[in-house]
Amino acid sequence: IFSGVNVFPNPVNGLATVNVDLVEGGDILVNISNSLGQVLASQKRNNAAAGANRLDIDFSSFASGVYYVNVSMGTQNTVVKVIK
């Protein structure tokens, strides 16, 4: 389902862009979690089109550390590690 997922800039200080390339369209869910697995932020895009999709996530209120951006669509997911 995903032909590519990346987050930039990484390391991030404020706003990060999550680029999701989809083979087919559908609903995208992006969860930001800490190293304990606690979900700190969530963003959903309904009816995302096939191809490139961009979501902006604000990390400015998060403490310095390691975070995980989990992008899921249906039963498929991928995780990208992000440093702040």
Q: What is the pLDDT of residues 29-52, one digit of tens each?
A: 999 999 999 999 999 999 999 999
Q: What is the pLDDT of residue 34?
A: 97
Mind listing the pLDDT tens digit of every residue in the chain (84 residues)?
788 899 999 999 999 999 999 999 999 999 999 999 999 999 999 999 999 999 999 999 999 999 999 999 988 999 999 999
Q: Nearest to residue 81, comparing CAs of 12, 20, 2?
A: 12
**In DSSP terms, which residues pair with 14 in a beta bridge?**
none
Q: Nearest to residue 66, comparing CAs of 32, 31, 30, 18?
A: 32
CB atoms within 10 A of CB 15: 11
Q: What is the pLDDT of residue 36?
A: 95
